[in-house]
C-alpha cells in the first residue's frame, strides 16, 4: 500500500489486454473515436451479466432493454484479447487514448471507512505478475481516479436517460446515440 508511491513496474505480460474486460465510459469512447477515427460500433460490444464477472448486477451502468441487461465494453476476442491490442507488437495501439480503466489497472484505490483517501495498492486477485521492481507515484493515479469518478457520474446520467426510453425496438447500440454522432461518408 502506498500513500505517495506503490512498488510496481509493467513488464508487458499483456494480461490486462488479453484477460481483463475493459468497461469504458462514454468519455473514453469519444476520446478513442476522435483520436483514431474508428466508429464506436466497430470497437464496442454489449455484454450481459452472464458474460462478465465482477460487475455487480445492481451496477448503475447496466442498460435495461426488454427485461435484459447489457453493459458497454471494448470489443475483445477470446484468444487474442482487446480489439486495440496490436497483434504483432503485443502493445496497445491506442495507448495515449486508452480508457481510464486501462490507465488505472492494476492499481486500486484505498479509502478509509469515512471515505478519505488512504493511497493505492495493487489488486490482489489479478493475473498480472504484479512486478514490484520500480516505484510508481500515486498522485497522477489519484487525479486520474477523480477524473474517472466525474465521468462515471455522467455515464450513470446517460444510462438513466436511456433506461427511461420505452421504445420496443431499442437495442444496446442505441445507447451511443445519446453521446456520439457518427458521420457516415
Query: Residue 139: which region, alpha, beta or left (left: phi > 0; alpha: psi -120 to 50)?
Result: alpha
- The mean pLDDT value for 168-179 works out to 93
Which of 185, 182, 183 has the alpha carbon at shortest distance from 40? Answer: 182
Residue labelled with grid coordinates 491506442 = 94
Q: How confident is the model at residue 185 (pLDDT cuts 50, 70, 90)?
A: very low
Which of 180, 156, 173 has the alpha carbon at shortest distance from 70? Answer: 173
Q: How confident is the model at residue 30 (pLDDT cuts 50, 70, 90)?
A: very high
Grid cell locating 51: 458474460
Q: Which of 12-16, 56-60, 96-100 has the lowest average pLDDT?
A: 12-16
Q: How confident is the model at residue 42 (pLDDT cuts 50, 70, 90)?
A: very high
Domain boundaries, the chain: 5-171
Amino acid at each position: 500500500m502506498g500513500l505517495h508511491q506503490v512498488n510496481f513496474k509493467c513488464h508487458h505480460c499483456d494480461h490486462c489486454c488479453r484477460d481483463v474486460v475493459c468497461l469504458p465510459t462514454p468519455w473514453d469512447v469519444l476520446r478513442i473515436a476522435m483520436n483514431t477515427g474508428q466508429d464506436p460500433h466497430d470497437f464496442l460490444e454489449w455484454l450481459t451479466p452472464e458474460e462478465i464477472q465482477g460487475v455487480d448486477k445492481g451496477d448503475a451502468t447496466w442498460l435495461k432493454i426488454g427485461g435484459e441487461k447489457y453493459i458497454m465494453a471494448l470489443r475483445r476476442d477470446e484468444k487474442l484479447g482487446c480489439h486495440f491490442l496490436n497483434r504483432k507488437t503485443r502493445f496497445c495501439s491506442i495507448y495515449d487514448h486508452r480508457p481510464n480503466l486501462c490507465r488505472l489497472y492494476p492499481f486500486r484505490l484505498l479509502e478509509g471507512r469515512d471515505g478519505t483517501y488512504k493511497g493505492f495498492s495493487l489488486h490482489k486477485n489479478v493475473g498480472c505478475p504484479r512486478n514490484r521492481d520500480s516505484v510508481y507515484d500515486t498522485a497522477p493515479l489519484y487525479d486520474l481516479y477523480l477524473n474517472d469518478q466525474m465521468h462515471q457520474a455522467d455515464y450513470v446520467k446517460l444510462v438513466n436517460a436511456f433506461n427511461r426510453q420505452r421504445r420496443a425496438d431499442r437495442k444496446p447500440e442505441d445507447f451511443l446515440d445519446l453521446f456520439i454522432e457518427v458521420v457516415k461518408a
